[in-house]
Each structure stands twice: as structure tokens, then as C-alpha cells.
């Protein structure tokens, strides 16, 4: 017995087995984390549905403002009518999912013929999806365009164009602008943009004729939303 106790050869095997046991437990924990990480979450499928409804609803607000700002006689109810139809049509696009869209819209704004003019439409939405028990998912969609005439020279105008959150709108060309006064329209020769520390982006509109004030400048963004500003 004493001899067995003095035998040190077996200690290495015991140590090795202990180390193996620790490794197996560690690997088990690691694998468990891996399984949990890739665990299937049913609600993830509905994130795509919510994302689609959110983007499409925003597009609808933009679409309504485009119509409102381009019409000769603007329809004050166009946003509400479109939203009413969208509310009904959603159930046809996603049948059997229990999608319900509620909204509250605000009056559309055409605050034009000022040095700084704007067009704006806003609607708040709430989505319920009965099939997954989701209720009260809220979001707000806003379409906004602002045009500010900064200065005028004989042949040039300096303007800023901003969209939602005051972000400058880039990549505008001569097709996006229209310059006129009470008696005539001016041909826009060229539009160039330059960086300004205060405004971030300023467009210079070059016209072929001498610009006689007061002038009216219209701008259309790529969505088709129009704003008309007057200077001075």
C-alpha cells in the first residue's frame, strides 16, 4: 500500500483526465452559446414585413406631397385619401397576417413665395400584426423640401435646397430648377454646387439673361416634390 502511494507514474494520467474534463465542459459551454446565437426567432420574419410597410408608407407620403405640390389646384385631402386606400389595400397585399395600419395625418404645407419656402407632409402610423401578437408599433413618415434664395447677381442666383432633418440635397442639375419673373422665364444655363461652411451646400444658378427682380425660383427634387421661392 505504501508502495502504491509512492508510485508517481499514475499522477500524470489523473492530471490529463482532469484537464480533459475541463476542456469538455468549456467546449460544451461554447457550443451552447453557438446554438443559442443561431436560435430561430419567429419574430425576425416579421421585421421584414414591418420594414416594407414602413418604407412604403413613407413613399406614400412623398407621393402625396408630389401630387399636392405639382397640381394647379391642389387637393387638400389627397394624403388622407391615399392613406385610407393604403390602409385597406395592405390587408389584400398581406392576407392572413392580420396586418392593421392606423394613421393620423397633419395638413400638408405649401409655404411658398418667400425667400425661404417649403413643402411638407407628415403622417404618424401605428401597425398591429395579429398573427404574432404585435400591437402599437409606431413610426412617423415625413416628406420635406426647403428652398432658400441667398443672393442674386446680374446672371446668377445662390440658393440652398434641403430635405428632411435639414440635410442638403445633392446632385441637382439645371433640369431641377426653373427661374422666372412676372413677365418672362429665364433659361437656366448651368447649375453648380459649392461647399459653404454655414449652409454645407450652395447651388449657383447661372441664367442666360440679366435677372430682373423680383424673381421666382422653383425646384423639383428627384421624388418630384416642388417648392417655389421668391426673391427679394
Of 162, 156, 151, the C-alpha closest to 199 is 162
3-state DSSP call for residue 34? helix
- Whichever of 154 and 175 has its CB closer to other proteins, that residue is 175
- Whichever of 55 and 130 has its CB closer to other proteins, that residue is 55
Residue 178 contacts other proteins per CB under 8 A: yes
Residues in region 26-45 near other proteins by CB under 8 A: 27-28, 30-32, 34-35, 38, 40, 44-45
Single out the residue of 74, 76, 93, 173 in contact with other proteins (rule: CB under 8 A).
93
Q: Could you tell me the sign of the dihedral formed by the alpha carbons of 164, 166, 167, 171, in that order?
A: positive
- Residues forming beta bridges with residue 181, ordered by sequence position: 215
DSSP-based helix, strand, coil % in the chain, nearest 5? 35, 40, 25
Residues in Cβ contact with 63 at an 8 Å cutoff, skipping those fewer than 6 apart: 82
Q: What span, in angstroms and rounded, lies between the C-alpha atoms of 127 and 149?
A: 40
- Whichever of 26 and 135 has its CB closer to other proteins, that residue is 26
Residue 218 contacts other proteins per CB under 8 A: yes
Residues that bind other proteins (CB under 8 A): 9, 12-13, 16-17, 19-20, 23-24, 27-28, 30-32, 34-35, 38, 40, 44-45, 48, 51-53, 55-57, 59-60, 62-64, 66-67, 70, 82, 85-86, 89-90, 92-94, 175-176, 178, 218, 220, 222-224, 226
Amino acid at each position: 500500500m505504501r508502495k502504491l502511494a509512492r508510485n508517481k507514474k499514475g499522477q500524470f494520467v489523473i492530471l490529463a483526465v482532469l484537464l480533459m474534463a475541463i476542456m469538455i465542459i468549456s467546449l460544451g459551454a461554447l457550443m451552447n452559446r453557438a446554438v443559442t446565437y443561431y436560435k430561430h426567432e419567429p419574430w425576425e420574419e416579421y421585421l421584414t414585413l414591418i420594414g416594407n410597410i414602413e418604407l412604403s408608407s413613407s413613399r406614400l407620403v412623398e407621393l402625396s406631397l408630389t401630387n399636392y405640390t405639382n397640381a394647379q389646384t391642389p387637393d387638400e385631402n389627397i394624403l388622407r385619401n391615399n392613406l385610407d386606400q393604403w390602409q385597406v389595400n395592405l390587408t389584400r397585399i398581406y392576407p392572413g397576417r392580420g396586418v392593421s395600419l392606423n394613421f393620423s395625418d397633419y395638413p400638408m404645407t405649401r409655404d411658398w413665395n418667400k425667400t425661404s419656402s417649403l413643402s411638407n407632409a407628415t403622417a404618424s402610423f401605428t401597425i398591429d400584426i395579429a398573427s404574432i401578437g404585435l400591437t402599437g408599433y409606431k413610426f412617423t413618415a415625413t416628406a420635406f423640401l426647403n428652398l432658400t434664395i441667398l443672393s442674386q447677381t446680374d446672371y446668377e442666383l445662390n440658393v440652398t435646397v434641403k430635405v428632411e432633418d435639414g440635410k442638403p440635397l445633392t446632385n441637382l442639375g439645371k433640369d431641377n430648377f426653373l427661374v422666372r419673373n412676372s413677365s418672362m422665364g429665364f433659361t437656366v444655363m448651368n447649375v453648380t454646387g459649392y461647399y459653404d461652411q454655414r449652409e454645407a451646400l450652395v447651388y449657383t444658378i447661372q441664367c442666360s439673361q440679366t435677372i430682373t427682380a423680383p424673381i421666382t425660383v422653383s425646384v423639383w427634387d428627384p421624388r418630384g416634390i416642388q417648392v417655389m421661392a421668391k426673391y427679394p
